Amino acid sequence: RATVFRWLLEKVGFARAELVISSGAPLPPPVAMLWQTWGVNLCEAYGQTETGGALVTGQRGPYPRPGDVGTGAPNIEIEHPDATRALYRQGKLATGDVGEWTGARALKLVDRKKDILITAGGKNVSPSHVENRLRASPYISEAAVFGEGRKYLVALLEADGETLAEWARERGVVHTGYASLVAHPEVVGLIETEVKRANDELTRVEQVKAFRLLPRELDPELEGEPVTPTRKVKRRLMAERYGELVESMYAEDEEQRIAAEVADLQTED
């Protein structure tokens, strides 16, 4: 494979790479499969600042308790004895993550424990998992999913301005900038199609039943933005900043529309 795609790997500087490691955010499986098809040995690494580097890259036993991510860390100290002791569980550093072991006994991170939301029906949902599916669309650059204590999940979406502008140009969609572009009915319809495509890869409880496009693009360099410089979404700040948009997706008429759609789907099943 590396021979067939060598010309491509040379263009991106990976022709001589023996190992490429992805870290930070979960790596979408289609992306990993594509690079591996091209002949790049791409894998994910997981670690924390407190551990001084990577912890696992598909760790082999002994394994932590299912659902918990921890690691033997007798030498880790954060210079606050009480705080350090609070982080340990049976001699292991409790990282605060939720994970699961795949059939290949490789660690798959699900989400941060504190970020797992529980719906009104008592179902645990990883918002990061849903957001990653939404961001797989070339037209969606960021996503923030909400649904704690609610009947269904909703999402605030930032459209990819450049990709969307090109799409609009090819179709003659007139606009004066990002705000007018995301308000255009054809664009809303496009994003709705992308959300439905993401929902097809999610379980019913994980599916996004309503969404709103942010009226402006996020600026990670701007202080106070609901996104970090590395473009990690701050859901709590996002909910505060755009609370009216979130609540509009739980309005009575919106709930009735969604309930009707769900009933139609159940009838089809």
DSSP the chain: -TTTTHHHHHHHT-TT-S-EEE-SSPPPHHHHHHHHHTT--EEE-EEEGGGTEEEESS--SS-PPTEEEEEE-TT---S-HHHHHHTEETTEEEEEEEEEE-TTS-EEEEEEGGG-EE-TT--EE-HHHHHHHHHTSTTEEEEEEE-TTSSSEEEEEEE-HHHHHHHHHHHT---SSHHHHHTSHHHHHHHHHHHHHHHTTS-GGG-EEEEEE-SS---TTSTT-SB-TT--B-HHHHHHHTHHHHHHTTSHHHHHHHHHHHHHHHHH-
Residue 65 — pLDDT band, cuts 50, 70, 90? very low
Higher pLDDT, 122 or 72: 122
pTM of structure: 0.71
* Residues 181-199, mean pLDDT to the nearest whole number: 96
In a domain, 218, yes or no: yes
Distance CA 116, CA 100 (A): 14
Higher pLDDT, 108 or 193: 193
Mark whether 148 and 248 lie in a shared domain: yes
Residue 247 — pLDDT band, cuts 50, 70, 90? very high
- The radius of gyration computed from the CA coordinates of the chain, to the nearest angstrom, equals 21
In a domain, 55, yes or no: no
Mark whether 130 and 14 lie in a shared domain: no
Check which CATH number belongs to the domain holding 180 and give it: 3.30.300.30
Mark whether 105 and 121 lie in a shared domain: no
Mark whether 134 and 199 lie in a shared domain: yes
Long-range contacts of 219-222 (CB under 8 A, 24+ apart): none
Mark whether 21 and 98 lie in a shared domain: no
pLDDT per residue as tens digits for the range 126-158: 999 899 899 999 999 999 999 999 999 999 999
In a domain, 50, yes or no: no
Q: Among 8-12, 66-70, 91-95, 163-167, where is mean pLDDT lowest?
A: 66-70
Amino acid 90: pLDDT? 63
Long-range contacts of 83-88 (CB under 8 A, 24+ apart): 87/50
Mark whether 183 and 263 lie in a shared domain: yes
In a domain, 87, yes or no: yes
In a domain, 156, yes or no: yes
In a domain, 141, yes or no: yes
Mark whether 120 and 166 lie in a shared domain: yes
- Decide if 28 contacts 132 (C-beta within 8 A): yes
Domain that holds residue 204: 116-268
Amino acid 8: pLDDT? 80
Mark whether 136 and 212 lie in a shared domain: yes
Mark whether 87 and 122 lie in a shared domain: no
Higher pLDDT, 99 or 11: 11
In a domain, 51, yes or no: no
In a domain, 53, yes or no: no
Mark whether 201 and 83 lie in a shared domain: no
Beta bridge partners of 124: 118
Distance of CA 223 to the CA centre of its chain: 22
Mark whether 131 and 104 lie in a shared domain: no
If one counts the domains in the chain, the total is: 3
Mark whether 143 and 238 lie in a shared domain: yes
